[in-house]
Amino acid sequence: MRSMSAFHLIPYMVKSIVPTTKLVPPGIQLIEAPSLWEQGYYGEGVVIAVLDTGCDTDHPELKNQIIGGYNFTSDDKYDPEIFEDYNGHGTHVCGTICAEKNEAGIIGVAPFAKLLVIKVLSKQGYAKSSWITEGIKYAMNWVGPNGESVRIMNLSLGGQQPDPDMHEAIKQAIASNIIVVCASGNEGDGNEETNEYAFPGAFPEVVQVGSVNLQEKMSHFSNSNSELDLVAPGEDIISTYLHREFAVLSGTSMATPHVSGACALLIEKFEHEFERKITEPELYAQLIKRTISLNYRRTFQGNGILKLSSSLVKQSHENSYKLEV
């Protein structure tokens, strides 16, 4: 008998709606994505499946980024070909990952990557666990028009109870060389000594992402638990929104796509350098290598804040130390 647990959007805060803008978002600067852009890496050739409320397919920053999509929700009478976003959450997540590099709007972490939009959350932000599970399986088995496959899944959603079918699907996706990046949840109380769990983020196989503000302080709402992997900017994050506009949102949902976009940059970089496909464990190791520990317990910050050039900094410090002795 299949489990039918209820899942939902991780609650988030809309700070403001902005009709137009032109900038590199501060969160993307904070994780040092431009350091890889300068090396020529923008996530080209990488497909990221975003399992969320859909996407504003007419948004000028996103319409060229979408390679495909599927609707598993009851919206539009379950029409699988309509994966339009009526909530805003999914569009915001998509923009942080790979909003187009152009002369207007914002730029995403990996602006040359492509989006597979998997709509598993209705316009009310509600999902049956079966929708998410089927969405994971669809993304895992999807083949693009030129033979592309999904390399990253972004799940900025959660439920209080673990679903065994969803867990099994996630393990299968990871075994097929897809890294699964999930939000930790916004049930945190600001106390490092208490644990809060939201699933699928708390499954040990996924990359669980917590939130910091733009001053690199832990967000009081960010869940703490022993499975947390790292943190990224999740407060006052500007990205794409409904009706071709932009919005400033806060939540671990906003931190998660920073990490998914970073994974796309790292895939392109290391597959170029290694001249072979990088495995999911290797990608995870390269991601965690690019973290800097903050002054918090590991249960609150995981391995620390994502800094894409931090491995170079660490190496530089090691070299200077050796020279001094």
* pLDDT at 193 (0 to 100): 82
Cβ neighbours of residue 17 closer than 8 Å, sequence gap 6 or more: 241, 245, 246, 247
Digit-coded pLDDT (tens) for 41-85: 999 999 999 999 999 999 999 999 999 999 999 999 999 999 999
pTM of the predicted model as reported, rounded to 2 decimal places:
0.93
Tokens of 98: 């790979």
Spell out the CATH class of 6-324.
Answer: alpha beta
- 293 assigned to active site: no
Annotated active-site residue in 5, 219, 224, 253: 253
Report the half-sphere exposure of 280 (CA within 13 A, side-chain side): 19
Annotated active-site residue in 5, 35, 52, 211: 52
- 253 assigned to active site: yes
Cα dihedral 111/310/192/201 (nearest 10): 40
* pLDDT at 126 (0 to 100): 94
* pLDDT band, very low/low/confident/very high, at 296 (cuts 50, 70, 90): very high
153 touches 49 (CB < 8 A): yes
Q: Is the pLDDT of residue 311 over 80?
A: no
Q: Is the pLDDT of residue 103 over 90?
A: no
Annotated active-site residue in 5, 59, 75, 89: 89
Distance of alpha carbon 318 from the chain centroid:
31
Digit-coded pLDDT (tens) for 152-202: 999 999 999 999 999 999 999 999 999 999 999 999 988 888 899 999 999
